[in-house]
Amino acid sequence: MKNIAVLGATGLVGEEVIKILEQRNFPTKELFLFASERSEGQTVIFKDREIEVLSDYESFKDKVDLVFSCLDAPLAREIVPKFKNTAVVIDNSNAFRMDSEVPLIIPEINSEKIKEHKGIIANPNCSTIQMLVPLYYLHKKAKVKRIFVATYQSVSGYGRDAVDELKLEFEYLGMCQDIEKLERPVFSHPIGNNIIPQIGDFNEDGYTKEEMKMLNETRKILDDELIQVTSTCVRIPVICGHSEAVSVEFENALSPGEAKEILKGAPGVKLIEKSDDYPMPIHAAGHDEVFVGRIRKDLAFENGLAMWIVADNVRKGAALNAVQIAELL
C-alpha cells in the first residue's frame, strides 16, 4: 500500500489520474491532493472517502511514496525535485522529458527503462504516446526509418480553460454571434468553427515546440537517433480525443495485411480493420486503447504505410500512461 500525492489534482489530467487509481484499484493507503490556492478546501471523493484539496505541499512532502505530477512545466521544475529524494515522481509535463537521467516511459514499449530512474520518471507528450504505441510493434518487425505525421488535437490537450473557451465560442456561434469579438484568454485565434495550425511557440526553423517534442521524444523512447520525424500539429474544435494522419517509411517491406496481423493482438491497440470504417474521437473518449484504422500502402514510399490513429488524449495520452508506469513500479 502506497501513500500517494497528486499535484495539480483539480486539473483535467489530475482528475483523470484520481479516477483511474480508483477504477484500477491501485493499492493506496493515503491520498494527498495538491492544487493552487483557488482550489484549496475543495473536496474529492476517492473510494467513498472525502479528501480535501490542499495548497501547501510541504504539509505532506515527506509522507508520500509516489507522486503524480500534473502541473505545468514551470511549476513542475520548481516542485517536483523537492519530492524526488523521498518518493518516486511520475511527471506529466515536458519539464524533464529530455533529461538524460530521467526515463521517458511508454509501458507498452520501454518498461525496462523504469529501473533507471533517480526519483523522477517522465510521461511523454500525448501525441507521441498514441503515435508510438502502434508503431512500436511495426518497428520491431520492419524498423521505422521516417515518420510524417499531421495531428488534429482537441482543446483538452491544453487544459480546462481551453475547453471552456471552446464551449463559449460554440454558444456564441449557436446564437449567430461574431466570435471574433470575444476575449480569448487561451488561443490567439478563434477555435470554434476554426482550426489553428500552431501548438506551442515557433522555433527559428518554423516548427513549434509540440512538433519538436514528437521528433525528440520518438528518438529517446525508441532509442534511435536516426529516426526522422516531420510533424504538423493542429488544434481543432473538438473537446476530447486527438487524431493523427501518419505515414511511415520502414527499412524493410511490410504490407498492410502484415501490419494488421501484428496489430490485432498488440497490447494497448484497438484495430479497426474494415476499409469503410475508421476510428474517430467519439469512439476513443473514455477508452484505454489507441485506435488504429485506414492502414494502407503509402504511395510515396516503396516500404511505406499510411494509417489513421486516434486516442483519448487525457486518458491514455496522460493519466492512464502515468498510472500504468506506477503499476509497473
DSSP string, 229-272: EEEEEEE-S-SS-EEEEEEEEESS---HHHHHHHHHT-TTEEE-
User: Does residue 181 carry a pLDDT above 90?
Assistant: no
Q: Is 233 a catalytic residue?
A: no
Q: What is the pTM of this model?
A: 0.94
Nearest-10 Cα torsion for 279, 285, 288, 289? 10
Q: Which three cell numbers stand for residue 315?
A: 486518458
> What's the pLDDT at 173?
85
Task: Report the distance separating Cα 213 and Cα 98, nearest Å.
Answer: 9
User: Does residue 51 carry a pLDDT above 90?
Assistant: yes
> What's the pLDDT at 15?
96
* Choice among 117, 139, 242, 283 that is catalytic: 242
* Domain at 2-124+319-328, CATH class: alpha beta
Read off the pLDDT of residues 5-41 as tens digits, 9 standing for 90 and up. 999 999 999 999 999 999 999 999 999 999 988 888 8
Nearest Cα residue to 135 out of 124, 149, 152, 123: 149
Q: Which three cell numbers stand for residue 326?
A: 506506477
Task: Report the distance separating Cα 323 and Cα 300, nearest Å.
Answer: 39
Burial of 1 (0-12, 13-18, 19+ CB in 10 A): exposed
> What's the pLDDT at 205?
96
- The 3-state DSSP class for residue 156 equals helix
* Choice among 70, 126, 233, 240 that is catalytic: 126
Q: Which CATH architecture has domain 128-313?
A: 2-Layer Sandwich (3.30)
> What's the pLDDT at 275?
74
Q: Which three cell numbers stand for residue 313?
A: 488524449
User: Does residue 53 carry a pLDDT above 90?
Assistant: yes
CATH 3.40.50.720 boundaries in the chain: 2-124+319-328
| Residue 313 · residue 268 · CB < 8 Å | no
Query: pLDDT confidence of 182, banded at 50, 70, 90?
Result: confident
| Residue 203 · residue 209 · CB < 8 Å | yes
Question: What is the CA angle 97-101-250, rounded to 5?
Answer: 55
> What's the pLDDT at 62?
92
| Residue 292 · residue 307 · CB < 8 Å | yes
Ordered alpha helix ranges (H), the chain:
12-23, 73-79, 107-110, 126-142, 160-174, 209-222, 256-264, 281-284, 320-328
CATH 3.30.360.10 boundaries in the chain: 128-313
| Residue 244 · residue 130 · CB < 8 Å | yes
Q: Is 287 a catalytic residue?
A: no
Higher-scoring residue by pLDDT: 177, 271:
271
